[in-house]
């Protein structure tokens, strides 16, 4: 097991991964709603209104945290898993779709990380989940997935999920990388983020890559994913729609669902 900030963890699997977190007595982890895979006896669950971080804001602080999560498209609630047992206990969190789980030590990131709004999976109790609006007008109007991102703050361990293949890139000062907005998983706050329009009318309308892309300017580390959730969902919807593909390899090709059900009647 790997040990970081008093949280032991182990990542299992290849394409469909899950992370197993080992908690000491009275130690807790916070997970995204619906991410829990299993937990051992002695761990208690508590659903909180907001981000689950330790703040002294009372009801209005919780309301503000919940409102921030709603703006990022996440659930209003998070779940805290607290080890009430006398010994070590384990809780596991599963990735929502094929990809990689990334453990990030926020203490080594300067206490902050900017992440795609659907990439957060779990974290050590006390990590604050907020929102990071992009300051520039272009990013605000046309950023798509990259407009409102999550701000993870604290000095503990956080787990984020990247769809498909993960690519980590460290940008030098002034180095620029142009990226599809959905392919951004996370980046350090030192990285400057903006949105630019694709050059050329034909490229913009017929290139198939959208009208806008993100520009990331170093210094700092960025994490990219080859399979954004929006792209995966778009392909599934397109294939399942009235004009969807009916390749010979499709289970429902030809006879369709009615034909398959009819064989069993």
Model confidence pLDDT, tens digit, residues 59-83? 334 334 444 444 444 445 678 899 9
219 preceded by a cis bond (ω within 30 of 0): yes
What is the pairing mode between strands 120-124 and 157-163? antiparallel
How do strand 7-12 and strand 192-197 relate by DSSP bridges?
unpaired
Pick 2-238's CATH classification: 3.30.830.10, 2.60.120.1090, 3.60.160.10, 3.60.15.10. 3.60.160.10
pLDDT tens digits for range 92-149: 999 988 999 999 999 888 899 999 878 899 998 888 888 776 555 454 455 445 467 8
Quick one: pLDDT at residue 34? 84
CA distance 41 to 214: 45
HSE, side-chain direction, 13 A CA sphere, residue 28: 19
Quote the distance between the C-alpha of residue 114 and its chain's center.
11
**Residue 131 near residue 150 (C-beta atoms within 8 A):** yes
Q: What is the pLDDT of residues 170-227, one digit of tens each?
A: 999 999 999 988 899 999 999 998 877 766 555 445 544 556 788 899 999 999 999 8
Burial class (CB within 10 angstroms; exposed 0-12, middle 13-18, buried 19+) of 149: buried
Domain spans, the chain: 2-238
Exposed e or buried b for every residue in 13-35, given b needs 16+ CB within 10 A? eeeebbbbbbbeeebbbbbbeeb
Cα gap 234→176, rounded to integer Å: 28
CA distance 265 to 262: 5
Of 231 and 14, the structure prediction assigns the larger pLDDT to 14
> For the chain, what is the mean pLDDT?
76
Q: Is the dihedral of CA 241, 243, 248, 252 positive or negative?
A: positive
How buried is residue 263: exposed, middle or buried, by Cβ count under 10 Å (0-12/13-18/19+)? Answer: exposed
For residue 225, what pLDDT is reported?
94
Q: What percent of the chain has pLDDT over 90?
A: 39
């Amino acid at each position: 097991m790997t040990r970081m900030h008093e949280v032991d963890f182990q990542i299992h699997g290849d394409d469909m991964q899950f992370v197993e977190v080992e908690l000491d007595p009275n130690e807790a982890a916070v997970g995204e709603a619906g991410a829990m895979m299993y937990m051992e006896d002695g761990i208690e669950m508590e659903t909180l209104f907001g981000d689950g971080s330790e703040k002294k804001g009372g009801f209005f602080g919780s309301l503000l945290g919940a409102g921030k999560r709603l703006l990022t498209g996440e659930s209003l609630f998070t779940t805290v898993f607290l080890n009430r047992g006398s010994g070590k206990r384990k809780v596991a969190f599963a990735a929502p779709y094929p990809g990689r789980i990334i453990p990030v030590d926020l203490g080594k990131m300067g206490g902050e990380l900017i992440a795609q709004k659907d990439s957060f999976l779990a974290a050590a109790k006390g990590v604050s989940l907020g929102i990071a609006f992009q300051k520039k007008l272009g990013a605000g109007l046309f950023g798509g997935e990259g407009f409102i991102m999550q701000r993870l703050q604290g000095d503990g361990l956080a787990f984020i999920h990247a769809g498909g293949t993960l690519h980590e890139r460290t940008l030098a000062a002034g180095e620029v990388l142009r990226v599809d907005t959905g392919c951004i998983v996370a980046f350090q706050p030192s990285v400057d983020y903006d949105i630019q329009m694709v050059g050329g009318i034909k490229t913009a309308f017929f290139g198939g890559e959208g009208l806008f892309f993100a520009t990331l300017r170093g210094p700092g580390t960025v994490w990219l994913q080859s399979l954004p959730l929006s792209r995966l969902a778009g392909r599934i919807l397109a294939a399942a729609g009235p004009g969807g593909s009916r390749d010979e390899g499709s289970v429902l090709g030809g006879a369709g669902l009615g034909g398959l059900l009819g064989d069993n009647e």
